[in-house]
Structure 1
Amino acid sequence: MIRFIHKYSSICHFILASLPLLTALAVIFCIFGNEAAATAWFKAHAQANPDYKFIAKIITDFGNIVFYPVYLWFLITGIRQRKKSRLRFALVYLAVQIIVSVITVRFLKIAIGRPRPGEGTFFEPYSTRGAYNSLPSGHTCEVYGASLPLVLRYKTLLLTLFLGLFAATVALSRIYLTWHHPSDVFCGWMLGSVAGFAIHLFSKEN
């Protein structure tokens, strides 16, 4: 059993880090049944509880930013201390995030043209209007693209749990503020997972 866990530790930590968000999304769908009902409830709750909305706004605005100093530290220490593994980790992170969380996400948002919650039901493919750039969630993609490489690099239980909960909180704040549908967040998680694994694999030394 121990050998099995060790062999598949990356997958185990990935699942553990993803579990908070996937569980929350499953609960949302079980309780509300559809995304329209979920959006209506979260919108009403946020309006009735401005303090919660304020906290969610802080989380959604600064959740991804907190990772920037972390990867900047890898970059600076990699250069100063001539540690190639840290430098490679930081540079691969930057390259993959630009390709996936910026270029790919932006392309999909425009190409799909899904309306954000409350903006209607009809898609407008190839629309550059922000109101029709809902799918996928860029915040979710970015936060998992930043947190999963750290999870897979260190593979420690406490760090995995902390980053998993933190990333889920950032992702769920997008739903709570009714800026994204739950399925937008789910798709953002999938893209972020691809980015996270890509960063982990390409930054490993041969």
Structure 2
Amino acid sequence: MRNGGVLALVLASVLWGTTGTAASWMPRSVSPIAIGAATMTIGGVLLAATSPRGVLRALRARASRDWVLVGAIGVFVYPLAFYASMNLAGVAIGNVVSLGSGPVFAALFEWAIERRRPTALWLFCTITAVLGVTLLALAGRGDIPGGSVGIGVLLGLLAGLSYAFYTYASSRAMRTGAHSRGVVGAMFGVGAVALLPVLL
């Protein structure tokens, strides 16, 4: 079971890392906001469809519903910030900043809300990761205008923050006893509904 979880995590990471490259192949006439809204809307509907009963249970129980609705805010913000970040700062920088900052923000949520103090190992790994993200961002600037990169990096940080926000909210919802697939399906389903006006 543990090996299966690790394999699923690695596979999810690989697939998640391809989203930026795939988006860069879209015609320039398609805005990054539309790409973000479309990907999360379609993904949200598909996720909700995998466990309709679990979704309903997660939304009916108040303990899990509150966290699902809170997390849906992050689901709404993430794709808009993520794809806009890559559009302004480039695929490499947008991906590195967005995906690299997410775990840091998630740990900070636990620290601030649950009073879980980070370990020395976490601090070392986080500092190393932040330095690595910074170096990669600086090295990947290329011919992109400096002002554009700066805004793109800020949007990447917003994407990382919103990603951490909805992953933390989903973990809290699951701790209430709600099934993981139902929680994630409900959260992304609600986020998909919220993104529909942006897409249309």
Q: Which has the higher helix share?
A: 2
Pairwise same-fold verdict (TM > 0.5): no
Q: Determine which structure has greater relative contact order: mean sequence separation of CA pairs < 8 Å that are 6+ residues apart, divided by chain length.
A: 2
TM-score normalised to structure 1 length: 0.36
